Amino acid sequence: MTHRVINFYAGPAGLPLPALERAQEELLDFAGTGMSVMEISHRAKEYDAVHEEAIALTKELMGLPSNYTVLMLQGGAHLSFGMIPLNLLRGGRKADYIVTGNWAEKATKEAKLVGGDHVRVAASTKEQKFNRLPHPDEIKVGPDSSFVHFTSNNTVEGTQWHEFPQVGQVPYICDMSSDFMWRPFDVSPFGLIYGGAQKNLGPSGVTLTIIREDFLEMCEAQDLPSYLRFKIHAEKNSLYNTPPTFGIYILRNVLAYNKSIGGLKAIEASNRKKGELLYGCIDKHPGFYRGFVTEKAHRSLMNVDFFLPTPELDDQFVKEAKKAGMVGLKGYRDIGGIRVSAYNAVTVDHVKTLVDFMEQFVKVNG
């Protein structure tokens, strides 16, 4: 049997085994073509079926109303950081950014390169080292704002907006790279949602972008290079240029698998169970495991950051976990400690194995 470990990497991250097995089965002879999906034209009908299915599954799983377009682009969240202001901050428009972590800060920096003073910081928890989200009374959004940008899950720091920020009637633009489709939610306040696939949805190389009709209409810039224009990608159904066909194929496999296990409701239940197990263990041993996030309501179910009593014990924890078949637990370099990334593909059983290990580790070293 093939050797597989339990994967807690932050991104690229583990994929559901059945999605990989399907790729393995279909690799050499995809849909009766006698070729792999990587080796055929992006205009071939066999590829087109995959492309359409990935889009249809995104709409179905997220329950998207008909005024939303699904795009599958390249360049990761990083390119979107620039494309968003390039397309949307035209004609004197202004936007507010909520800065809650490393990635939100990068998004803001890129937006300012394009929009200058028209990009404002509505709130920041940098002074708190991003160990919590801003409270409602700390968020100041201008009435003239075209959108409020926020990061739904802060991958590095381990905070997550369980209730989206209160910003009045101003539409959201959201980077969902690390919690895309972790639960069902109402998309209607969102003008645009984007994220690299490589955390919760698939491999790197695909950027899933969902854009509302009125936001697409705002993208009238004619002077941008074509690839940078959302409107062109929408008009061409993400086939303006050669799309990342293999990445989209794997994304399709993941989404089809997610549907087969009961969709986002079932995934949410599993994610909540995983969170209860992990935070339950941390809270049971407050003298040994210390969470990075200071407010329980802001704790992420995707990335769980904590420290052991000493950096030496952190290292020992990572090493011994690896021996026990669990990888990817070392914290982000700027924060240290441990980070458990428990995205959709991580199962409740995987987390149970880790929590048993954590209990044993306290017994021996606590």
Ligand X SMILES: *Cc1c(COP(=O)(O)O)cnc(C)c1O
- Write out the catalytic residue numbers: 103, 175, 199
84 burial type by CB count under 10 A (0-12 exposed, 13-18 middle, 19+ buried): buried
Compute the 3-state secondary structure of the chain and give helix, strand, coil in percent, each to the nearest 5.
Answer: 45, 15, 40
Does residue 76 touch ligand X according to CB under 6 A?
yes
**Residue 178 interacting with ligand X (CB under 6 A):** yes
* Contact status: 332 vs ligand X (CB under 6 A): no
Indicate the residue among 76 and 244 with the shorter CB distance to ligand X.
76
Show the tokens assigned to 258.
């997610």
Sites for ligand X among residues 186-215 (CB under 6 A): 196, 199
Give dist(CA 188, CA 298) in Å, integer.
23
69 is an interface residue for ligand X by CB under 6 A: no
Parallel, antiparallel, or unpaired: how do β-strands 94-99 and 145-151 relate? parallel
- CB of residue 79 to ligand X, shortest distance in Å: 7
**Nearest distance, CB of residue 78 and ligand X, angstroms:** 4
Q: Which of residues 338 and 358 has its CB atom nearest to ligand X in the complex?
A: 338
Q: Does 103 bind ligand X (CB under 6 A)?
A: yes
Dmax over Cα atoms in the chain, in whole Å?
Answer: 64
Distance (Å, rounded) from C-alpha 334 to C-alpha 51? 38
Cα gap 202→252, rounded to integer Å: 8
Q: Which of 9, 11, 124, 229 binds ligand X (CB under 6 A)?
A: 11
Nearer to ligand X, 78 or 183 (CB): 78
Select 219 or 302, whichever has its Cβ closest to ligand X.
Answer: 302
Between 101 and 115, name the residue whose CB sits nearer to ligand X.
101
Q: Indicate the residue among 47 and 343 with the shorter CB distance to ligand X.
A: 343
Instruction: Check binding of 108 to ligand X (CB under 6 A).
Output: no
Beta-bridge partners for 157: none
Q: How far is the CB of 240 from ligand X (least distance, A)?
A: 20
Q: How far is the CB of 77 from ligand X (least distance, A)?
A: 3
- The identity of residue 195, as a single letter, is G
Residue 160 touching ligand X (CB under 6 A):
no
Q: Judged by CB under 6 A, which stretch of 47-55, 74-82, 216-224, 234-242 contacts ligand X?
A: 74-82
Does the protein bind ligand X through residue 164 (CB under 6 A)?
no
- Toward ligand X, which CB reaches closer, 23 or 156? 156
Would you give the binding string for ligand X spanning residues 137-156, x where CB under 6 A is met? --------------x---x-
Cα–Cα distance for residue pair 272/245, rounded to 1 Å: 33
How many CA atoms lie within 13 Å of 336's alpha carbon, on the beta-carbon side? 11
Q: How many whole angstroms separate alpha carbon 226 and alpha carbon 240?
A: 9
The only residue of 175, 268, 305, 314 in contact with ligand X, by rule CB under 6 A: 175
Q: Indicate whether 177 belongs to the interface with ligand X (CB under 6 A).
A: yes
Q: At 92, which amino acid appears?
A: G
Q: How many residues does the chain have?
A: 366
- 147 and 172 Cβ atoms separated by less than 8 Å: yes
- Indicate whether 78 belongs to the interface with ligand X (CB under 6 A): yes
Whether the Cβ atoms of residue 187 and residue 65 lie closer than 8 Å to each other: yes
Least distance to ligand X from the beta carbon of 103, Å?
Answer: 4
Using the CB atoms, write b or e for 224-241: b if 16+ within 10 Å: beeebbbbebbeebbebe
Residue 150's nearest CA partner among 206, 107, 213, 191 is 107
Q: Does residue 77 interact with ligand X by CB under 6 A?
A: yes
The number of residues that bind ligand X (CB under 6 A) is 12
Taking the CB of residue 135, how many other CB atoms lie within 10 A of it?
12
| Closest distance of CB 152 from ligand X, Å | 8
| Stretch near ligand X under the rule CB under 6 A, chosen from 45-53, 63-71, 171-179, 215-223 | 171-179
CA-based nearest residue to 84, from 245, 195, 206 = 195
Residues that bind ligand X (CB under 6 A): 11, 76-78, 103, 151, 155, 175, 177-178, 196, 199
